[in-house]
Amino acid sequence: MARKLDSINGEAPGGAVKAISNAEAERAFRTILQWIGEDPDRDGLRETPNRLVRSFREYFAGYDEDPEQVLNKTFTEVEGYDEMIVLRGVTFESHCEHHVAPIIGRVWVGYIPDRRVVGISKLARVVEIFSRRLQIQERLTAQIANAVENALKPKGVAVVVKAAHHCMISRGVHKRGSDLVTSRMLGVFRDQPMTRSEFLSLVNADTIE
């Protein structure tokens, strides 16, 4: 998978990323199938390593994209609009970096512009790019907020993420029905309790079931 070094998740990498071919990745999946006790040559499994490679490319497509570029390319200057803009409850699928298990959830992104605004679809795109990397929810939350902050320089940014972690559901402690909630508040959302609670009431209104 071709990757820009500066877009790798987490901390700056210490060395170059080795390019791994699809064929090498398929062989690795084949090895894992054998390791669990399967016969990778039986009919139902013959195409599975290849399918897994294609699935992984999709799950982890976010390494090749730069969210700030998505925002930078498209912002427009608008004088005077200074109301809260909120992307409500956009769904995402990510994978935890500890178990490569799915993290399934929703994200609320709010900001109060300072001249620059972007289309709401670009915010959704940013959520998607960061989700399609190995993640921990806390970092996903911070990355979304920081990207909006850096690209738009708004008066404030708020991000809330609510998600279920399959590493808790299908393995380990086997707990269903519990969500992890994380948030990051910057600028006026951090400094002004009224602004923050206006945003949080939108989030809570969306999640009453």
User: Residue 99 catalytic?
Assistant: yes
Is the backbone of residue 50 left (phi > 0), alpha (psi -120 to 50) or beta?
A: alpha
- Of 34, 69, 98, 138, catalytic: 98
- Nearer to Zn ion among residue 99 and residue 153 (C-beta): 99
Residue (136 or 152) nearer to Zn ion, CB:
136
Min dist CB 26 to Zn ion, Å, is 25
Burial of 145 (C-beta count, 10 Å sphere; 0-12/13-18/19+): buried
Report, in Å, the least distance between residue 100 CB and Zn ion: 8
Catalytic residue among 65, 99, 192, 198: 99
**Residue, CB closest to Zn ion:** 167
CB of 99 to Zn ion, least distance (A): 4
To the nearest whole angstrom, how small is the minimum distance from the Cβ of residue 135 to Zn ion? 10
Is residue 95 part of the annotated active site? The answer reads no
Q: What is the DSSP code string of 141-206?
A: HHHHHHHHHHHH--SEEEEEEEEEEHHHHSSTT---S--EEEEEEEEHHHH-HHHHHHHHHHHHHH
- Least separation in angstroms between residue 133's CB and Zn ion is 14
Binding site for Zn ion (CB under 5 A): 96, 98-99, 101, 167
> Which of 93, 97, 166, 192 does the annotation list as catalytic?
97
CA pair distance 186, 171, nearest whole angstrom: 35
Q: Which of 128, 135, 137, 143 is flagged as catalytic?
A: 137
Task: Give 60's DSSP letter.
Answer: T
**What DSSP character marks residue 19?**
P
Euclidean distance between CA atoms 91 and 81, whole angstroms? 27
Measured distance CA(1)–CA(61) in Å, rounded: 9
Query: 135, 143, 149, 165: which is the annotated catalytic residue?
Result: 165
Q: Confirm if 159 and 107 have CB atoms less than 8 A apart.
A: yes
| Shorter beta-carbon distance to Zn ion: residue 8 or 101 | 101
Q: Quick one: 86 or 96, whose CB is closer to Zn ion?
A: 96
174 is catalytic: no
Considering beta carbons, is residue 70 or 103 the nearer one to Zn ion? 103
Catalytic residues: 96-99, 137, 165, 167
